[in-house]
Amino acid sequence: MVNKQIKRFETPIEVAQAVADTVVASAFESIAKRGVFHWVLAGGTTPKQCYELLRDADVDWAKVHVWFGDERCLPVGDDERNDEMADNALLNHVAIPDSHIHRMNAELGAEKAAALYADELAGIEALDLVLLGMGEDGHTASLFPNNPGLQDKRLAVPVFDSPKPPSNRVSMGYTALKFAHRRIIMVTGAAKREAFDKVCAGESLPVNIENSEWYVSL
């Protein structure tokens, strides 16, 4: 593995709680230093549990800006969109201004949505904390093995021919993910063990991003 920052837990809910605690601490630190906390959300089951745990957290939500690591090219409000999950799990339950929720307009198509998001990302100094998951194939966000999106240097990239439906997506690119102050990769479930072992062995999978912290329950 590129780094050895691995924290192991017995259950997925323990991962979710540990990540939630880290989000609160990171928000407090960033707001104290700069008056703002730029936080990137991941999709998936374990992140959802984390977001639900944060509903009652002692966070100054008015100073939090939420971003998305990726989005599926589906209509607004579709149950399979990552922002819909985040709304239901957390964002509808906390006092965060709508203008601080930076959605990927994936309903406009992958190319246009990626270009708009890249422009928006270019307007901030840095991302403070990025939450990421890992798929059974070693993908993260919507950066899949052997997909051209991996070589795209833009802050946000269009993704076509995804091996998981829907085939068209928008993802933060490596350029944005690698320059974030902090990355946490959540890995839960026995189905992820093979990919995680490959990462530990140094295999070049998309999720293998330098200087990331791994919160793992397998």
- Domain positions in the chain are 6-217
Class of domain 6-217: alpha beta
Q: What is the pLDDT of residues 82-113, one digit of tens each?
A: 999 999 999 999 999 999 999 999 999 999 99
pLDDT in tens, 31-82: 999 999 999 999 988 899 999 999 999 999 999 999 999 999 999 999 999 9
- State the first-to-last Cα distance of the chain, in angstroms, to the nearest integer: 17
Task: Give yes or no for a contact between 7 and 214, defined as CB atoms under 8 angstroms apart.
Answer: yes
DSSP bridge partners of 185: 132, 214
Q: Which two tokens stand for residue 209?
A: 């991003």
- For residues 12 and 189, what is the distance between their CA atoms, to the nearest angstrom? 8
